[in-house]
Structure 1
Amino acid sequence: MASTTLDHNAGEWKKPAVGWLKYNVDARFFARARVTSMGACFCNPTCNLVAGLISWRQPMLSTLEGEA
């Protein structure tokens, strides 16, 4: 039987290094409306929002496409 180890820091947000931006994305799927929504934001090393965007796609994307 294989043992499973959980990385408790996997979901922890870390600020980017100086000179870099952090890009966070997410997708949500609305089956009834057959729509996929996606959002993204760019943050600088001082954790200030630099840019953001949202997008809707219809017909709905597959989970693999939306998360990519």
Structure 2
Amino acid sequence: MRVQAAFDEDGHIIALAEIVAEGDDRLGVRLVPCADRKLAELTVPGECVGEPLAELAARYRVEDAPEGARLILR
């Protein structure tokens, strides 16, 4: 499962939206960046697939590294 995350400079997740593949019957949501937020597309850890996105945001933060952003435990 992949998500789009909006996060601040400290990696705290502000919002998450599941990335829905084209052709899927579900409605997809896209986040819009603002001046003090970044966006990244991330892979959700296997043990978290199917959990509510709010729980994922509460347990993880985004590490914005030169090789790419990733979710890490707080």
| Max Rg structure | 1
TM-score by length of 1: 0.31
Higher relative contact order (CA 8 A, sep 6+): 2
Bigger fraction of residues in helix: 2
TM-score by length of 2: 0.29
